[in-house]
Structures are given as C-alpha cells and as structure tokens.
Structure 1
Amino acid sequence: MTYKIVCSVKNNQVTLTLPPDFRNKEQVTVYVDDQIDVKSQKLDALKMAAKDPLFLADIREIHADFDSIEHETL
C-alpha cells in the first residue's frame, strides 16, 4: 500500500501517524521530497518579478517587438 501525506518539519524532524491499514507492519519506506519548498520559492520569485521594473521593461520591449509583426501575413 502507498500512503502519501505532507508533513511539517519542526526542529529538522517529521512526525506522522500511519493509517490503520499499516497496523502490524514492521517496516515502511519513507521518501523525503522537498519539492513543496522549491515550488513555493519559485512562486515567490514570480511574484517578485511581477513588480520588478527591469523585468517589466523587458516584457514591454518584447511586446513592442512583436506588435510590429503581429499583423503581417505569411
């Protein structure tokens, strides 16, 4: 059986309660995945970029470049 749960980390430790189906099990395999933190860091960076004047200027410049060719036909 596979059981997935997101646990908080306190003092570099994780505590979890296994569901009743795991009763009488002698061993389980635990995978540690920090993608949640990586994803939240990326989302924070995107939020900061949305307010960054240099980034916004680059976006406006790219938009202007494509505006000039947007109405051309092949």
Structure 2
Amino acid sequence: EAALSNHLNINNPHFDIVLFSYKFGKAHYPLTKTKFIARLAHTAKDTSLNPLQGHTIRIGATLEYLLQNISFEVIKTMHIVQ
C-alpha cells in the first residue's frame, strides 16, 4: 500500500494511461520489462547485490509481493525469483 501510494505521489499517472507508468520530464511512459530490469540492476549495483537477469525474475508475482511490503529477501525464498 505504501509503495503504491509513493508511486502515485511521485509519478502522478493520469487516469487514461497505464497504472505503472513513470514520469520523465513532462511526459509519462509505460513501465516496460526492459526499464524494470534496468532499474533492478541499478538498485542492485547501488546496494552491492548481484543484479538479476530478465529471465530469472517473475516480474508480475514479484511486483505484487513488493506492493504488499514483503521484503525482496523473503520473496527470493519463495521461488518467485530463481
């Protein structure tokens, strides 16, 4: 709930575009698998973790659990991330 609220506050997506879009400049863009994986890699690098590759993560399930404030370390034990 907190993650979704934060997303809505930061990106302020319009009602007529996809929910998981991000703001870049004055425009909104849909969050693609490529951008999602790139963001994960960037975050992993910043936190000294090994980056996940696109085929090793089940994005939909992982995102759902993250939105429920379940830590990524716990998600990895659930076999969602291989």
Larger radius of gyration: 1
For Structure 1 versus Structure 2, the TM-score category normalised by the shorter chain is under 0.3
Higher RCO (C-alpha under 8 Å, 6+ residues apart)? 2
| TM-score for both structures, normalised by structure 2 | 0.23
The answer to which structure has the higher strand fraction is: 2
TM-score (norm 1): 0.25
